[in-house]
């Protein structure tokens, strides 16, 4: 396995996380209660302050947020959140006023108000805030890139990491969180048959490149004659990816804003087409696949990683499945997921590819969801000085846990695909 690439000083937001202890060796035993300390702490700080002030002025109007755009630029989600906030603050006000009338000590009233506030926060978290709509993917990734929190914790690679069976048995938190992502790229290269020697100088397309971590890594691995192009819908990601390429001295990796469903490249342009965790955001999966097959050269290599839902054709989704999927769709601006089997059928239907290799890497990647939460628990510096982003971070942590549970119970799968294009 490769080592973490040495990062230059200007990339100070990148972290080489290494925990000093391993308090929980199982990836399947962390309950929702892990989020309680953060939820309770934030609720107590917020609700206690409001409760005390309400007891003095008798109104919550002065303390109810007038804008929630920092949580979601989606107006409907912001209005919904404001209603939830009004409701929870109303509960707090009622609790405090009732306590005053019956003579209950202020501390008991405040404690009760804190519990009510926590319930209110839970109600907010359970309501998805970032439903997919035209422009929502670019908008969300622009925001994540701008605030720097995602980069602080996830580094250059906005995708899950890879954990071996031995690493899982030893305790996944012992592994460097950033290193797991580099290991994932190495394993994905192996699956796709991409070799630094035989593919040296290849022309590569990275579909959904994020801030360009994988694009730059491939550009380095495949040598100075390689030509790697990363595309994304987010202008901020292109800007950041280009900055990092310049800082790291990787001139053979370039980035551009482009819709993967309407790529501007000619047919048969690339030796390798690489897509890692971008299919989730595509509103037309068939067009997504067809476009990638179109721009791949005959004999070229195709490799894709994407979150999938299980195939429901034999065992239909029940009500809980549907509720959980709806949350996962609408919290992180996904139009919908499809199954590994369905993706393979779409690829086969193009008639352009040789035998398609598929796999479910849920065992190799599932630790990433909770590991992501732990790195924030161990090191809150990424968001502690950005209190206006705190609720968004809590929302994301909550969604990470919901994702873990969906993958753990088989509702979700981690789809891997590799194939070569037929010769003309």
On the question of pLDDT at 161 being above 80, the answer is yes
Pick from 88, 105, 125: which residue ends a domain?
125
In this structure, are strands 412-420 and 296-309 parallel, antiparallel, or unpaired? antiparallel
Q: Which residues contact 323 (CB under 8 A, 6 or more apart)?
A: none
> Do 173 and 114 share a structural domain?
no
> Do 194 and 68 share a structural domain?
no
pTM: 0.76
Residue-wise pLDDT tens digits, 341-371: 999 999 999 999 999 999 999 999 999 999 9
Confirm whether 26 is domain-assigned: no
> Do 201 and 63 share a structural domain?
no
CATH number at residue 266: 3.40.50.150
On the question of pLDDT at 234 being above 70, the answer is yes
Confirm whether 57 is domain-assigned: yes
Domain count, the chain: 2
> Do 149 and 105 share a structural domain?
no
78: domain range?
32-125
> Do 158 and 74 share a structural domain?
no
> Do 206 and 80 share a structural domain?
no
Confirm whether 5 is domain-assigned: no
On the question of pLDDT at 421 being above 90, the answer is yes
Confirm whether 194 is domain-assigned: yes
With tokens 């999966």, the residue in question is 285
Confirm whether 296 is domain-assigned: yes
> Do 273 and 232 share a structural domain?
yes
Overall average pLDDT of the 391-407 stretch: 92
> Do 344 and 229 share a structural domain?
yes
Q: Measuring CA to CA, which residue among 216, 211, 221 is closest to residue 186?
A: 221
> Do 117 and 151 share a structural domain?
no
Which pLDDT does position 394 carry in this prediction? Answer: 86
Q: Are 415 and 308 in contact (CB under 8 A)?
A: yes
**What three-state secondary structure class fits 397?**
helix
- For the chain, helix, strand, coil in percent to 5 are 55, 10, 35
Q: Which residues contact 229 (CB under 8 A, 6 or more apart)?
A: 203, 204, 205, 206, 215, 253, 254, 255, 256, 270
Residue-wise pLDDT tens digits, 262-292: 999 999 999 999 999 999 999 999 999 999 9
> Do 409 and 273 share a structural domain?
yes
**DSSP, res 370:** H
Q: How many CB atoms lie within 10 A of CB 37?
A: 10
Confirm whether 17 is domain-assigned: no
Confirm whether 261 is domain-assigned: yes
> Do 327 and 409 share a structural domain?
yes
> Do 181 and 118 share a structural domain?
no
């Amino acid at each position: 396995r490769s080592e973490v690439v040495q990062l230059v000083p200007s990339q100070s937001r990148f972290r080489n996380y290494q925990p000093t202890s391993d308090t929980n060796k199982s990836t399947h035993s962390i309950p929702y209660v892990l989020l309680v300390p953060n939820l309770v702490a934030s609720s107590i700080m917020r609700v206690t302050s409001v409760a005390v002030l309400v007891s003095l002025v008798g109104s919550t109007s002065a303390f109810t947020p007038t804008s929630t755009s920092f949580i979601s630029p989606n107006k409907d989600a912001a209005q919904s959140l404001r209603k939830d906030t009004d409701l929870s603050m109303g509960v707090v006000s009622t609790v405090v006023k009732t306590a005053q009338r019956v003579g209950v000590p202020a501390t008991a009233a405040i404690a009760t108000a804190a519990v009510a506030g926590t319930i209110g926060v839970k109600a907010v978290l359970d309501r998805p805030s970032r439903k997919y709509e035209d422009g929502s993917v670019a908008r969300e990734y622009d925001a994540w890139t701008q605030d720097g929190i995602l980069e602080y914790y996830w580094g250059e690679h906005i995708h899950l990491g890879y954990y071996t069976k031995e690493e899982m048995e030893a305790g996944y938190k012992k592994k460097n969180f950033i290193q797991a992502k580099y290991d994932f790229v190495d394993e994905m290269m192996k699956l796709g048959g991409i070799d630094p020697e035989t593919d040296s100088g290849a022309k590569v397309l990275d579909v959904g490149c994020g801030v360009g971590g994988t694009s730059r890594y491939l550009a380095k691995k495949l040598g100075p004659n390689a030509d790697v192009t990363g595309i994304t819908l987010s202008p901020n990601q292109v800007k950041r990816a280009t900055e990092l390429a310049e800082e790291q001295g990787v001139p053979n990796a370039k980035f551009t804003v482009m819709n993967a469903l309407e790529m501007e490249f000619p047919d048969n342009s690339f030796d390798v087409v690489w897509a890692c965790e971008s299919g989730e955001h595509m509103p037309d999966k068939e067009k997504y696949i067809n476009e990638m097959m179109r721009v791949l050269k005959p004999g070229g290599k195709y490799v894709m990683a994407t979150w999938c839902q299980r195939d429901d054709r034999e065992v239909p989704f029940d009500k809980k499945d549907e509720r959980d999927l709806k949350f996962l769709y609408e919290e992180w601006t996904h139009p919908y997921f499809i199954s590994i089997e369905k993706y393979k059928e779409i690829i086969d239907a193009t008639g352009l590819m040789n035998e398609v290799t598929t796999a479910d890497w849920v065992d190799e990647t599932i630790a990433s969801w909770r590991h992501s939460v732990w790195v924030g628990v161990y090191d809150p510096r990424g968001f502690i000085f950005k209190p206006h982003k705190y609720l968004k971070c809590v929302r994301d942590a909550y969604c990470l846990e919901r994702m873990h549970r969906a993958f753990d119970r088989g509702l979700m799968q981690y789809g891997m695909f590799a194939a070569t294009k037929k010769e003309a």
